């Protein structure tokens, strides 16, 4: 199916890093296979973070070896440092690796120190090393955390985010995720930032990654779309947030719920290219694996487009 927007499903990585209990590898594989079946063109599958700091992903290699891949789909792994890249390269050489990796940066010093254990310049030095080591083996994705506000430093100048996007582009990274990590963005700020990015970096794909911590995630997606953004991250049931052992922010720190974002776009005639029935199958599987009802309104009410179709055929 053709699509007007590209949605990357982040449940298996950004979602599960917030869970206190380890999710079995077989369950993760089943989830990622369901996301593939639903038609997601990009799936955030795992992370090569240090297993002692983020134990949820100690099974990265086994997980990537077990999933059923579909040609043309990007399965992404997060690599926080050179060791992560080396692990990703080893798995790729063994025939089971990711074909897309994300390189982490942060818009503030305080968040960089808390999340990555170094300074901003220290992390950018790491990014240069990682890009050189990765070569052309993967599609590279830059990530800028706390781009719309930091829980430690407050406001983030949009010019700094633009500067970081251009910095990624300078190193050959053509996709950059703009992360509202703790839900401090507003539609006005989002619109302003994405218009600045479209003007300053027209050849870079900027991805809207909004957490719904304060209930404005969907509104921020609309603002980004109206400013020209066509690539979005989301997570089934709105799960996600900071790693359980590296805490920052408070409240429900999860992402925009995939079901709700897909419903919004489809209601407005903006194609996501997804099979809505299989999206709901994946939604139910996510709840089954975590053993609780998740924070998606559409998971309870169903897709409006499906309801409208029933009424039209009645």
Task: Write out the DSSP string of the chain.
Answer: ---SSEEEE-IIIIIGGG-SSPPPHHHHHHHHHHHHHHT-SEEEEEE---TTT-GGGTTHHHHHHHS---TT-EEEEEE-SHHHHHHHHHHHHTT---SEEEEEEESSHHHHHHHHSS-HHHHHHHHHHHHHHHTTSSEEEEEEETTT-BTTTB---HHHHHHHHHHHHHTT--EEEEEETTS---HHHHHHHHHHHHHH-TTSEEEEEEB-TTS-HHHHHHHHHHTT--EEEEBGGG---S-TTS--S-S--PBPBHHHHHHHHHHTT------HHHHHHHHHHHHHHHTS--S-HHHHH--HHHHHHHHHH-
Specify the pLDDT at position 242.
63
Which domain does 62 fall in, by range? 6-313
Specify the pLDDT at position 252.
65
Residue 48 inside a domain? The answer is yes
Residue 1 inside a domain? The answer is no
Residue 103 inside a domain? The answer is yes
pTM of the model: 0.94
User: Residue 234 belongs to a domain with what CATH number?
Assistant: 3.20.20.70
Specify the pLDDT at position 251.
56
Residue 268 inside a domain? The answer is yes
Using one digit for the tens of pLDDT, what is the confidence trace for 29-79?
Answer: 999 999 999 999 999 999 999 888 888 999 999 999 999 999 999 999 999
Residue 164 inside a domain? The answer is yes
């Amino acid at each position: 199916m053709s699509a007007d927007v590209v949605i990357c499903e982040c449940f298996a990585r950004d979602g599960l890093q917030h869970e206190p209990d380890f999710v079995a590898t077989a369950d993760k594989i089943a989830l990622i296979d369901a996301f593939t079946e639903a038609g997601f063109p990009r799936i955030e599958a795992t992370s090569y973070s240090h297993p002692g700091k983020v134990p949820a992903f100690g099974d990265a290699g086994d997980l990537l070896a077990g999933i059923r891949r579909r040609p043309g789909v990007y399965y992404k792994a997060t690599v926080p440092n050179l060791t992560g890249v080396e692990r990703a390269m080893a798995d790729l050489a063994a025939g089971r690796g990711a074909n897309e990796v994300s390189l982490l940066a942060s818009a503030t010093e305080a968040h960089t120190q808390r999340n990555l254990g170094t300074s901003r310049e220290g992390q950018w030095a790491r990014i240069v090393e990682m890009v050189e080591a990765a070569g052309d083996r993967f599609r590279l994705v830059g990530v800028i955390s706390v781009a719309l506000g930091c829980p430690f430093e407050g406001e983030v100048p949009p010019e700094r985010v633009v500067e970081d996007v251009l910095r990624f582009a300078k190193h050959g990274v053509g996709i950059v995720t703009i992360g509202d990590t703790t839900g401090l963005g507003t539609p006005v700020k989002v619109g302003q930032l994405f218009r600045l990015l479209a003007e300053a970096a027209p050849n870079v794909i900027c991805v809207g990654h909004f957490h719904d911590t304060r209930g404005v995630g969907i509104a921020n997606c609309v603002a980004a779309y109206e400013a020209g953004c066509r690539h979005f991250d989301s997570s089934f049931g709105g799960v996600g947030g900071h790693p359980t052992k590296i805490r920052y922010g408070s409240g429900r720190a999860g992402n925009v719920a995939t079901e709700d974002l897909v419903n919004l776009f489809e209601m407005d005639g903006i194609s996501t290219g997804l099979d809505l029935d299989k999206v709901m199958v994946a939604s139910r599987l996510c709840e089954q694996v975590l053993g609780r009802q998740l924070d998606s309104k559409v998971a309870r009410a169903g897709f409006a487009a499906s309801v409208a179709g029933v009424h039209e055929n009645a």
